[in-house]
A and B are shown apart, each in its own frame.
Chain A
Amino acid sequence: MENLFIPNPKEAESIQILREVAAQFERPVLLFSGGKDSITLVRLAQKAFFPAKIPFPLLHVDTGHNFPETIEFRDNLVKELGLELIVRNVQDSIDQGKVREERGRYASRNTLQTTTLLDAIEEFKFDACIGGARRDEEKARAKERVFSVRDDFGQWDEKNQRPELFDMLNGKIHVGQNVRCFPISNWTELDVWEYIRTENIAIPSIYFAHKREVFFRDGMIWTANEHVFREAHEEVVEKMVRFRTVGDMTCTAAVLSEAVSLDDVVSEIRLSTISERGARIDDKRSEAAMETRKKVGYF
């Protein structure tokens, strides 16, 4: 059986899905957050269309509270691969009076992203938004389709989803509808990390352990800076930490870590007993937090 190429089934499936997106839709876009999942999507898209360029742009919905390391990484990646990047800012939605900034202890711009995203979809007439969501992240996501149809308001109707049979994807939609496409639906967090290691994919530095000014609240580690609300008694300390996701600073908690290389990170994830979303403050708001946000158009 010399030279027989045996595919990695999850990678092959993701590439198949990305090609379906490119073939079935007129104006797809890849939602890029600078996080490891969207970085993995970019690599898969490179593989799907090589030697041609990725046939869709990237869209970053910037909350203005991103880690600077993520933004720097994003700009480098786009330059290196010659991709088209569209950035839309939550700050603009706030300035236009479309959304109101949250106040107080748990203030975050995370939920405000939805409005900015829906506006961008309308502005560019995107009919397919490719996202890096995975079904293992959260129980409402476990029921998400690979092609998930949204109405004009971006809403997800979980009881009325199209069944997906074999690998046949039905992306037929009416004007005004759009589809959220999730090529790495079947990957786990460990799959993503293993893939990044195997493929030697560059990721933002905040995924690795570094010294950072932080404070502790509700058993979680928060970044201490001007974007994150902090009470006077909440003491700032310097710790070796890393991030497991790189969302908005106001809703992304750090974990104590000594992992400075991909090998370290992978072994840490393997042993880890806290799930990734356990470090997402936005999900702690209520048990149904994710499902509620999805219904109104969140990713």
Chain B
Amino acid sequence: MDIQGRKLIKIATAGSVDDGKSTLIGRLLYDTNSLTTDKIEAIERNSKQRGYDYLDFSLATDGLVAEREQGITIDVAHIYFNTDKTNFIVADTPGHVEYTRNMVTGASTSQVAVILIDARKGVIEQTYRHFFISNLLRISHVVVAINKMDLVDYSEDVFLKIKSDFDALVEKSNFHEDQITFIPVSALKGENVTRKSEHMPWYVGNTLLDHLEILEPEDLQERSVARFPVQYVIRPKTEAYHDFRGFSGKLHGHSLKVGDEVTVLPSGNKSKIKSIEFFDQKLEWVAAGASVTITLEDEVDCSRGDMIVRAGEEPKSEKAISATLCQVNSKALKVGGKYILQHGVNRVLAKVDQIESRIHTDFSGGEEADQLRLNDIGRVHFRLSKPIHFDSYETSKSNGAFILIDEGTYDTVSVGFIN
């Protein structure tokens, strides 16, 4: 539950230029009364200034000066709105050249992807890419919003044709059919966004908002094994807590209980959970997602970057890994390149051993490559200075992903998904 007792759903939106994504989000905000009077006034003023005879909701989301001047979105923007039952966080990712980087970034923190398709254009190359990324990041649920239905006479045939083209993509992916939902909408006119459309009686499903509201965070959450990466060691050194030595971090994948037998990595030392503490509360049993402090029965060596797991559920520990990589910086990744690899909160040095292939984002396979440029996705082999304690991304999102940091600029240049 979120702060207000509402559930929290995180959404990434994906669309190409001009398919009405900003309008759709603006419409969601407007119809849920999430736009305040001063924001609506600003939208009215701006729309009038530009000579539009309708309210341009896209102005509600386009943030930076350069974007307003050019009428495009250049970075991931975060948008917040809520209904009585649900708090939503939308990562709005722009749909032009730097698309892959932005969508990967937005999707990495989201459970649901809303992919927009212009009903007049149908499934296009961009759609392949959006869906490919949703598949690569193992997004839990995909909504395909077929927009601008008003411009195709609200035709069921158009909707069905697009759905069947999209289904062909689903077959090439790891998604199950029940993870994908198709909704015909008109963002501009507000049809099937929050209000059921009278123009499309043939559509019997939920409106977009109703659909997003019935999703349950628990169903969207990953179920794997408990991973507790140690962020910070707490040693108060005060009279009252003289011997206190707590390991703080955020738990992923599964719950943990007091009394659980654990292994501390990399030392491999075994112990038992003595207490789980959260501020002034002592907890017996904590669910994944909790930021807590754990104390152990035994004095074991454990510091930042180490990992506490349940005994018998140890992850792999290796000095050579292979991963699917997405390049998110304009500096290309090359064989022999050295980077700082950040895996959760742990950092090691990594060297690119081999670039196996560059992967096409249209599900058509890959090709040989000697480097990965910005927005490229490829399969890469690394050698590490020290072993990391990982799972495959397929088994554990939190323990199967990493970023690469450039040793010179310290920029985040790539994100990796361990195979």
A residues neighboring B (CB under 8 Å): 3-13, 15-16, 19-20, 22-23, 46-53, 135-136, 139-140, 142-143, 158-159, 161-168, 170, 172-174, 185-188, 190-191, 194-195, 198, 272-275, 278, 287-288, 291
Residue B135 lies at the interface, judged by CB distance under 8 Å to chain A: no
Interface contact B248-A194, CB-CB below 8 Å: no
Residue B47 lies at the interface, judged by CB distance under 8 Å to chain A: no
Residue B381 lies at the interface, judged by CB distance under 8 Å to chain A: no
The number of chain B residues with a CB under 8 A from chain A is 79
Residue B395 lies at the interface, judged by CB distance under 8 Å to chain A: no
Interface contact B286-A140, CB-CB below 8 Å: no
Which of B35-43, B197-205, B265-273, B315-323 is near enough to bind chain A? B35-43
Residues of B89-123 contacting chain A, CB below 8 A:
89, 101-102, 104-105, 108-109
Residue B283 lies at the interface, judged by CB distance under 8 Å to chain A: yes
Interface contact A23-B402, CB-CB below 8 Å: no
Q: Across the interface, name the chain B residue whose C-beta is closest to A191.
A: B3
Interface contact A170-B279, CB-CB below 8 Å: no
Interface contact A49-B289, CB-CB below 8 Å: no
A16 to B8, CA, bound (A): 18
Interface contact B2-A136, CB-CB below 8 Å: no
Q: A51-B241, A165-B104 are in contact. Are A4 and B285 (CB under 8 A)?
A: yes
Interface contact B64-A12, CB-CB below 8 Å: no
A186 to B101, CA, bound (A): 21
Q: For A9, what are the chain B residues with a Cβ–Cβ distance below 8 Å?
A: 2, 8, 289
Interface contact B248-A48, CB-CB below 8 Å: yes
A106 to B65, CA, bound (A): 24
Q: For B334, what are the chain A residues with a Cβ–Cβ distance below 8 Å?
A: none
> Contact mask B231-252 → A, CB, 8 Å, 1/0?
1101111101100101011100
Kindly list 17 other residue pairs between chains A and B, CB separation below 8 angstroms, not including A5-B281, A10-B2: A3-B283, A3-B285, A5-B283, A9-B2, A9-B8, A9-B289, A23-B231, A49-B248, A51-B234, A51-B246, A52-B238, A136-B80, A139-B61, A143-B64, A143-B77, A163-B76, A185-B78
Residue B124 lies at the interface, judged by CB distance under 8 Å to chain A: no
> Contact mask B391-408 → A, CB, 8 Å, 1/0?
000000110011101000
Interface contact A53-B403, CB-CB below 8 Å: no
CB < 8 Å: which of A8, A51, A52 contacts B2? A8
Interface contact B36-A273, CB-CB below 8 Å: yes
Interface contact B279-A158, CB-CB below 8 Å: no
Q: For B237, what are the chain A residues with a Cβ–Cβ distance below 8 Å?
A: 52
Residue B328 lies at the interface, judged by CB distance under 8 Å to chain A: yes
Residue B369 lies at the interface, judged by CB distance under 8 Å to chain A: no
CB < 8 Å: which of B4, B42, B304 contacts A287? B42
Q: For B42, what are the chain A residues with a Cβ–Cβ distance below 8 Å?
A: 287
Interface contact B285-A5, CB-CB below 8 Å: yes
Residues of B326-353 contacting chain A, CB below 8 A:
328, 340, 342, 344-345
Residue B371 lies at the interface, judged by CB distance under 8 Å to chain A: no
Q: A158-B64, A161-B75, A275-B36 are in contact. Are A20 and B231 (CB under 8 A)?
A: yes
Interface contact A274-B291, CB-CB below 8 Å: no
Q: For B241, what are the chain A residues with a Cβ–Cβ distance below 8 Å?
A: 51-52
A53 to B244, CA, bound (A): 13
